[in-house]
Amino acid sequence: MRKHLNETFAAYVKKYDQQIPMIDLKYHHAYRVAELAEKIAVSLQLSEEDQELAYVIGLLHDIGRFQQVEDYDSTDDKYMDHADFGVYLLFDENLIYQFYNKENNFAVIAKAIANHNKKNIAANYNKRERLFAKIIRDADKLDIFYLTANDEIVFWKAGFEVSPLVWQNFIAEKPIDYRDMKTLADQLLLFLAFVYDLNFHFSFDYLKNTKYLEIIMNKYNKPYNFDFNLVRQKIMKYLDYYSQKTENAV
């Protein structure tokens, strides 16, 4: 099953030009996110069927990216929402059957993928839909931290001054809106604020163990117009708090 899934995904991406860095990045991102999503499912002691489901959602969550990059040469969702487009490909164009055919899980897959780039999980998701939406949100963010720590994502904004709204949200431990991101300072805080949206014990443990956040903060240690030590401490404290809790922070 795993081999079939992985090969089918590779065959799908072959239709696109893997010489384009963003296509290649998203291709490898998919496999890592699938593995992470599965590990979260294991950590939650979900059934084998649900572990597989987490893997499938992880692998397919960015399936809409490839067409987006080809058509728009951009990953900016203001031109085309890649999550909604992915759901369209899978369930309107029926691409899903190439990968997975347990129809009783289709709604869960569609909702988790549609939601993964949205600010919040919609109120009308049921418990199971919320669970898998949270799993993919966490797995995706963990890999974004990996990519940033390893310079596969390089911050592209300039300017050491934080925008007031970004600072306010960061301090309030709230996610930061992409549209508010104007400077390098904003971009760093926006990425760091992803930790506020993490749900599972596994994710906090993973970040503590890999030290990705420390690596990112050291890499982007610049003369900002705010107290960078305060930011560091705040993030590390948050991580410590949730990684020491034995319960899942859901």
Contact positions vs Fe ion (CB under 5 A): 62
Nearest-CB residue for Fe ion: 62
Query: CA torsion 14→37→95→99, rounded to 10°?
Result: 80
Beta-carbon contacts of 196 under 8 Å, excluding residues fewer than 6 positions away, are: 173, 174, 175, 238
Closer residue to Fe ion, CB minimum distance, 41 or 136? 136
Between residues 26 and 39, which has the closer beta carbon with respect to Fe ion?
26
Whether residue 166 contacts residue 181, with contact meaning beta carbons closer than 8 Å, is answered with yes
Closer to Fe ion at the Cβ: 62 or 129? 62
User: In the bound complex, what is the minimum distance in angstroms from residue 169's beta carbon to Fe ion?
Assistant: 21
CA proximity to 210, closest of 146, 154, 141: 146
Q: Least distance (Å) from Fe ion to the CB of residue 98?
A: 20
* In the complex, minimum distance from the CB of residue 53 to Fe ion, in angstroms, rounded to a whole number: 18
- In 3D space, the residue among 218, 215, 162, 214 whose CA is nearest the CA of residue 190 turns out to be 162
Q: Least distance (Å) from Fe ion to the CB of residue 143?
A: 10
d(CA 113, CA 57): 7
Q: Which residue lies nearer to Fe ion by CB, 143 or 186?
A: 143
